[in-house]
A and B are shown apart, each in its own frame.
Chain A
Amino acid sequence: MNPFDRRQFLKLCMSGAAIAAAPFSVSAATTAPRVVVIGGGFAGATVAKYLRLWGGNIDVTMIDPAAAHISCIGSNLVLNSRASLSSLTLSYNTLINTHGVKVMKDSAVSVDPLARRVYLASGARLDYDRLIVAPGIDFLSIPGLDPNIMPHAWKAGSQTLLLKKQLEAMPDGGKFVLTIPPAPYRCPPGPYERVCVVADYISRKKPKSKVIVLDANADIMAEKHTFSTAFNGIYANIVEYHTGVTISAADSSRKELTTSIGTIQGNVVNVIPTQQAGKIVFDTGLVPAGARWAPVNPLSYESTVVPGVHILGDSQGTGQPKSGHMANAQAKVCADAILRSFAGLAPDAAPKTNSACYSPITYDTASWLTVVFAYDPASGTMKAVPGTLTEAPMPTKDNFEQMFGWMANMFSDSFA
């Protein structure tokens, strides 16, 4: 045992005793440590649940303007009627009734990180010992773009239903235009998966129609084998895939886009704009000038800019993929680190996170994508463990069934 190990060992032994004697009370104060969570998506719900599950007497308040969360995971399946929006609507009731999380239907308007206080739209204010900011993504604006005419459907809910309605109203022989933003964006395989479900619908209902894909990236960003096989194989007569295309303006009334390869018009124009961290993340000063995401220490997801504030999910900038599954994965590392900090302990020094996700490719087959990340002490970053970033060899019916099993546990592990 070298001196460093011995010090750590002694510290951990003492902390073990501390855990047994006085769980997570920093001082002799009788009040429970207060954690405020901004955002009730996969990141926010999971961290709130696990703080209570693992921490016991922690005062956890989660703030979200919605009465329930509508999952983006599975929402492409609404477009070809393989899932309903109601099956993707996740209540906060179990978090409240079983786990003792306080949920406030409200919006955080500002944070005072020095006073450790959050101000809400209702006029209420909340003091915290630790703040978790997990608001998801915001979109960069495109001149002339009206999302009520050219929907993104990249936040599930009314936008998903609008896009479905437009797809179903499209004439046979129509053009469905889909734009893919520059990476990083929420859900790397998501846009390509959407191409597949729209192409599936078209192949069955409107076979003379086309899907025109305008990708800002130089290549397919996830599951290249799976999606290029689909685009060039079963969907070769439907999908027209362009790379390196940027969108500079939109004419919503004409359903027309000004792009780097000319003006492109469609019957349905599904514009997924460039993304960045949620507004409250910028307003709290968590994003350095010129950046789009908030830098954090991946051992705790605590901001490297503002102490006491943790950023989870799509808004954090560790470089791990932005997805509900990863948000859940990170939330557990964060919950563990916060509970340790209340006990006077350093974060777990060797966390791992993983991603596994299923993508529908046809009406009844799906693929999967997976990776395991490990903390690399030399660089202080999460790095993919070599050999773990893999995709399914081919889409299968078994995977399509497993996809629903994965969704059921994803939803339950995060929200129930």
Chain B
Amino acid sequence: MTKPAMMLITLSSALLTTAAAHAADPTHGRLLASQCAQCHGTNGHSVGSIDSIGGTDLYKDLLEMKANIKPEDIMHQQARGYTDEEMRLIAEYLSTQPGGSD
């Protein structure tokens, strides 16, 4: 087998694995993200004084909260409860939602 052919196979199987992870459960991110709505509003659209989180990519913010937990911040405690992959799925779902507050 030639080197480029092998690379192609490696590449395509990597793509397949990524695709599998995404396709594995199309609603998993939505279900995880729905748990943000009690405080941040349905689909991250806040109707109160707490920030809206729809329409933005929160992945880096969530990772940072988990890496640097401040005891006085309720979100930092929540961040402990999710894996990086779950945070990525939550951020991905919310980023596709309309932003802004009422």
The residues of A with any CB-CB pair to B shorter than 8 Å are 1, 8-9, 12-13, 16, 19, 50, 53-54, 325, 328-329, 332-333, 336, 340, 348, 350-354, 356, 368, 370-372, 374, 385, 387-388, 390, 392-393, 396, 401-402, 404-410, 412-413, 416
Contacts and interface: CB of A to CB of B under 8 A. Distances in A.
Contacts of B86: 352
Contacts of B31: 332-333, 336, 348, 351
A336 B86 CA distance: 17
B24 interface: yes
A318 B24 CA distance: 27
A332 B28 CA distance: 12
B50 A332 contact: no
Interface residues of B, number: 32
Nearest to B36: A354
B73 to A, nearest CB: 10
A405 B39 CA distance: 7
B48 A332 contact: no
Interface string B40-57: 111000111110000000
Q: Which interface residue of B23, B30, B72 has the most chain A CB atoms within 10 A? A: B72
Nearest to A325: B38
Nearest to A358: B74
Given A19-B26, A352-B86, A9 B20 contact: yes
Contact of B48 (A385, A392, A393, A407): A407
A356 B39 contact: yes
B4 interface: no
A406 B48 contact: yes
A372 B82 contact: yes
Contacts of B41: 409, 412-413
Given A388-B78, A409-B38, A413-B38, A336 B47 contact: no
Contacts of A416: 47
18 contacts: A54-B27, A329-B38, A336-B31, A348-B25, A348-B31, A351-B31, A352-B32, A352-B35, A353-B35, A356-B74, A356-B78, A370-B77, A387-B80, A388-B77, A402-B74, A409-B38, A409-B39, A410-B39
Given A348-B25, A356-B74, A372 B32 contact: no
A63 B70 CA distance: 43
Interface of A is mostly: helix
Contacts of A368: 74
A236 B37 CA distance: 38
Contact of B49 (A328, A371, A401): A401
Closest 3 CB pairs of A and B: A372-B81, A408-B48, A405-B49
Given A332-B35, A352-B35, A393-B71, A404 B48 contact: yes
Given A402-B74, A408-B47, A412-B42, 11 more contacts: A9-B20, A348-B27, A348-B28, A348-B31, A356-B38, A374-B81, A401-B49, A404-B48, A406-B38, A409-B39, A413-B38
Q: Which interface residue of B23, B32, B38 has the most chain A CB atoms within 10 A? A: B38
A393 B50 CA distance: 20
B26 to A, nearest CB: 6
Contacts of A336: 27, 30-31
A182 B58 CA distance: 41
Given A348-B28, A401-B49, A354 B35 contact: yes
Interface in B1-45: 20, 23-28, 30-32, 34-35, 37-42
A329 B35 contact: yes
A335 to B, nearest CB: 9
Given A385-B81, A388-B80, A413-B38, A16 B74 contact: no
B41 to A, nearest CB: 5
A230 B81 CA distance: 28
Interface string B64-102: 000000011010011011100010000000000000000
A169 B39 CA distance: 36
A13 B19 CA distance: 11
B86 to A, nearest CB: 7
B6 to A, nearest CB: 20
A409 B47 contact: yes
A50 B81 CA distance: 23
Contacts of B28: 348, 350
A12 B22 CA distance: 11
Contacts of B34: 50, 332
